Amino acid sequence: MNRRPPLTLATAAVVGLAFLGLPLVALLVRAPWRHLLSLVSTPAARTALRLSIECSFGALAIAIITGVPIAWLLARREFPGKSFVRALVTVPLVLPPVVGGVALLFAFGRRGIMPLHIAFTTWAAVLAEAFVAMPFLVLAVEGALGSLDHRYEDVASTLGAGPLHTFRRVTLPLVAPGLAAGAALAWARALGEFGATITFAGNLPGHTQTLPLAVYVALQSSPDTAIALSVLLLAVSVLVLVVLRGRWRGLRP
Amino acid sequence: MTRPGAPLRWASIAALTVVLGACSSTSSSEPGPGQRELFPTVFAASSLTDAFGGINQALAHQGSKATFSFAGSQALVAQIANGAPADVIATADATTMSTVASHLVAPAQVFARNRLVIVTARGNPHRVTSLSDLANPKLAVVLADPTVPAGKYAAQALAAAHVTVHPKSLELEVRSVLTKVELGEADAGIVYATDALAGEGKVTAVPLAGGPVASYEIGAVDNAGRAFVRFVLSAPGQSVLQHFGFLPP
């Protein structure tokens, strides 16, 4: 049997790989390595980094606390409008983030339909990130629950465990790897959020200027700082992939 | 699935149609020599959004039509320095323009001036009368980022008045400041007089006594941009700008 791929497929694949790889290589080539550490450790950069970490973990917490129950409902219960709920959960995945930001503004802005008085606060940045990151977590956990043999849960309840007890002691530990993978993807997405944040939360160093916003602003005044911060974000992304070790491939929506 | 190949085939036909469509449309609208002068690409400070729209209407009578890219001046010059295909660049200050001086075919010229104003929600519910009122911590104040010309002028005005403001956001173009006030997300902001005019009916402008006057510069990045620059500096071009509230150079 001929194991070599057809030439046309191989050529297209190589072009595609070059397209994906070259920008990353360019970033590394252009990076001011000698000053990298000093550029990413300026007070402004450190403030943006600290804020990004706070916001992305805040968004992840919201996504886990509200997302896991949604995933459980989708995987374990039949109810009217289930396909609508699944579509609703998936919308932020396909919606342009800036549109998400505009929508958040008209929902929770000062004159929104449910005014929360959080515009321009760090909370607004957290909500913007949670909005875009939530689908990654829900779909991953739902996938993990779907491939789980629910006889474990049945056995637990026949042994007298209540539904919540079963969920905490049996279901959650069993889907932990799926939850971890979903959490890593959701966190990475939250960390990279730009469009919804700048639209809903604005741009203020120390309060709402997260790393991606800092990269964008720096690119207009100090490109070297922008590249250095970009390398930092790239390193974090690679780290997430290493932590996942290909586990996301087993996730199905 | 009975015909596993069918969806893929349809997808490739659709993709091919899109690609061919894109090719044919670019080849038909590709401007020939001399054409580009009539259809220049103009990078302009966001405060020029309405006025340059008016310039385009005036140009339409000559069969010419510019394509605009509006953003903060600092973002536009960064794009030009990275090779963005602009024929004309118009900035809201001289400092920003000076960073692309080497990209221009002729020295940039001042073509308009603009004053700063405070904008508030319509009717000025918080009774803002001067810059010192912006120091009120109960007021959500939004400014342009100091890298944006409008933000730099605002910082100068505040410093001259010895007022310290804690803005809620530093927007990356002056028009975003106006939008935040229009939407009611901010109580007050500092923008150009022309922006307040554009937002008339939705915002109230509080004029500033004295304060810096912004001077706008325009330059051609290549020869195709010269005609547009000439028109903006001509009497008809100037009357359009003044109609939108700009002061003569």
A163-192 tens-digit pLDDT: 888 888 888 899 998 999 999 999 999 999
3-state secondary structure A85-99: HHHHHHHHHHCCHHH
Check residue A242 and give its pLDDT: 85
pLDDT over 90 (residue A67): yes
Query: Is A218 in contact with A229 (CB distance < 8 Å)?
Result: yes
Number of domains into which chain B is organized: 2
B209 three-class SS: coil
CA separation for the pair A61, A67 (Å, rounded):
9
Same domain, B119 and B203: yes
Residue B21 has a pLDDT of 42
pLDDT at position A152: 86
Report chain B residues whose CB lies below 8 A from the CB of A111: 183-185
**CB-nearest partner of B145 from A105, A111, A203:** A203
As a whole number, mean pLDDT of residues B173-186 equals: 91
Cα distance between the two ends of chain A? 35
Q: List the single residue in B78, B169, B171 with the smallest CB-CB distance to A220.
A: B78
Nearest residue, CB atoms, B183 vs list A105, A217, A221: A105
User: B1, B5, B65, B3: which is closest to B31 by C-alpha?
Assistant: B65
pLDDT digits 0-9 by tens, B18-61: 444 444 443 334 445 567 788 999 999 999 999 999 999 999 98
Q: What pLDDT, on the 0 to 100 scale, is given for residue B167?
A: 94
Q: Are residues B118 and B238 in the same domain?
A: no
Chain A residues whose C-beta sits inside 8 Å of any chain B C-beta: 105, 109-111, 119-120, 198, 201-205, 208-209, 216-217, 219-221, 223
Helix or strand (DSSP H, E) at B22: helix B5-29
Q: Does B184 touch chain A (CB under 8 A)?
A: yes
Select the residue from A106, A108, A120 to test the B interface by mutation, using most B Cβ atoms within 10 A. Answer: A120
Burial of B150 (0-12, 13-18, 19+ CB in 10 A): buried
Whether B93 and chain A come into contact, CB under 8 Å, resolves to no
Q: Which residue has the higher pLDDT, B247 or A119?
A: B247
Q: Identify the CA nearest to A208 among candidates B153, B220, B171.
A: B171
Same domain, B124 and B100: no
> Rounded distance, CA A105 to CA A200, Å?
5
Tell me how crowded residue B74 is: count the other CB atoms within 10 A of its CB.
Answer: 29
* Chain mean pLDDT for chain B: 86
Q: Average pLDDT in the B194-202 region?
A: 90
Pairs across A and B, CB distance < 8 A: 54
B171 plus B228 within the same structural domain: no
**Contact call for residues B234 and B228 (beta carbons, < 8 A):** no
Q: Please report residues of A whose CB lies closer than 8 A to that of B184.
A: 109-111
B143 contact residues in A (CB cutoff 8 A) = none
Residue A111 has pLDDT above 90, yes or no: no
Q: Note whether residue B98 is domain-resident.
A: yes
pLDDT of residue A18: 96
Q: What is the pLDDT of residue A221?
A: 76
pLDDT of residue A190: 96
Stretch A85-106: mean pLDDT, rounded? 93
Question: Which whole number is the average pLDDT over A197-213?
Answer: 91
Flag whether pLDDT at B145 surpasses 70.
yes
- How many CA within 13 A on the CB side of residue B123? 2
**B26 domain-assigned:** no
Rounded distance between C-alpha atoms, residue B49 and residue B93, angstroms? 16
Cβ(A139)–Cβ(A89) below 8 Å: yes
ipTM of the complex: 0.75
Query: How much is the pLDDT for B18?
Result: 44
Q: In terms of domains, do B164 and B176 share one?
A: yes
pLDDT range class, residue A248, cuts 50, 70, 90: low
pLDDT value at position A160? 86
From B223, B245, B219, select the one nearest B232 (Cα to Cα). B219
Residue B231 and residue B185 share a domain: no
CB B166 within 8 A of CB B141: yes
pLDDT at res. A151: 86
Please, are residues A197 and A133 in contact by the beta-carbon 8 Å criterion?
Answer: no
Q: In B183-202, which positions are buried (b, 16+ CB within 10 angstroms) versus exposed (e)?
A: bbbbbbbbbbbbbbbbbeeb
Six-digit token string for A238: 């690679």
Residue of higher predicted confidence among A16 and B3: A16
pLDDT of B34 reads: 64
Determine what percent of chain B is predicted with pLDDT higher than 70.
Answer: 86
Q: pLDDT at residue B1 above 70?
A: no
Domains of chain A (ranges, CATH numbers): 35-250 (1.10.3720.10)
DSSP class of residue A5 equals P
- Which chain B residues are Cβ-neighbours of A109 within 8 angstroms? 183-185
- Within-domain flag for B23: no
Inter-chain touch B75–A220, beta carbons under 8 Å = yes
- If asked whether residues B70 and B190 sit together in one domain, one would say no
Is B93 a member of any domain?
Answer: yes
Interchain proximity A203–B170, CB inside 8 Å: yes
B157 in any annotated domain: yes
Same domain, B149 and B189: yes
Q: Which of A124, A137, A150, A128 is nearest to A204 (CA)?
A: A124
B142 and B195 share one domain: yes
Strands B67-71 vs B88-91: parallel, antiparallel or unpaired: unpaired
pLDDT exceeds cutoff 90 at A11: yes
- A110–chain B nearest CA distance, Å: 6
pLDDT score, position B200? 87
| Whole-number pLDDT of residue B82 | 81
Residue B188 pLDDT greater than 90, yes or no = yes
Instruction: With respect to residue B202, please indicate whether it lies within any of the assigned structural domains.
Output: yes
Q: B65 and B130 in one domain?
A: no
- Mean residue pLDDT of chain A comes to 90
Domain contains B199: yes
- Beta-carbon separation of A204 and B170 below 8 A: yes
| CATH number of the structural domain spanning residue B83 | 3.40.190.10
Of A204, A216, A219, the CB nearest to B168: A204
Q: pLDDT-derived band of residue A118, with 50, 70 and 90 as boundaries?
A: confident
A120·B168 Cβ contact <8 A: yes
Q: Within this chain, do residues B176 and B134 fall inside the same structural domain, yes or no?
A: yes
Q: Are residues B96 and B209 in the same domain?
A: no
Distance to chain B for A26, nearest Cα, Å: 14
Rounded distance between C-alpha atoms, residue A228 and residue A36, angstroms: 6
Tokens representing A72 are: 């459980």
Task: Name the H helices within chain A.
Answer: 7-30, 36-40, 43-76, 82-94, 97-108, 122-146, 151-158, 163-166, 172-191, 195-200, 211-221, 223-244
Cβ of B170 within 8 Å of Cβ of A120? The answer is no
Touching A: B residues 111-130, CB under 8 Å: none
- What string of DSSP letters covers B105-157? SS--EEEEEEEEEEEEETT-TT---SGGGGG-TTS-EEEE-TTSHHHHHHHHH
pLDDT of residue B32: 52
Tokens of B59: 């140009």
Residue B242 has pLDDT above 90, yes or no: yes
Domain holding B75, by residue range, is 35-113+214-243
Which of A9-13, A66-70, B20-24 shows the lowest mean pLDDT across its residues? B20-24
| Domain presence at residue B143 | yes
Is the pLDDT assigned to residue B11 strictly greater than 80?
no
Contact (Cβ atoms closer than 8 angstroms) between residue B78 and residue B86? no
Q: Residue B87, SS3?
A: coil
- pLDDT given at position A237: 86
